[in-house]
Amino acid sequence: MFNIAPAELLLVGIVALLVIGPERLPSTIKTVSLWVGRFRRSFYKVKNEIERELNADEIRRQLHNEAVMEDLESAKSQMSQLAKDTEKSIGKIVSSDDLDPGAAKPKADDNEEDTPEEKTVLGDIQELSKEIEESATEIKQQLYGSGTNPKLGKPSDKVESD
Domain layout of the chain by residue ranges: 15-95+122-138
Distance CA 141, CA 158 (A): 14
Distance CA 139, CA 18 (A): 71
Q: Is-contact 147 156, C-beta < 8 A? A: yes
Residue % of the chain over a pLDDT of 90: 12
pTM comes to 0.35
Looking at residue 117, its pLDDT comes to 45
Nearest to 123 by CA among 65, 83, 156, 69: 83
For the ranges 27-41, 82-96, 125-139, 140-154, the maximum mean pLDDT occurs at 27-41
pLDDT band at 34 (very low <50, low <70, confident <90, very high): very high
Residue 46 has pLDDT above 80, yes or no: yes
Residue 119 has pLDDT above 60, yes or no: no
Q: Is-contact 46 38, C-beta < 8 A? A: no
Distance CA 120, CA 142 (A): 33
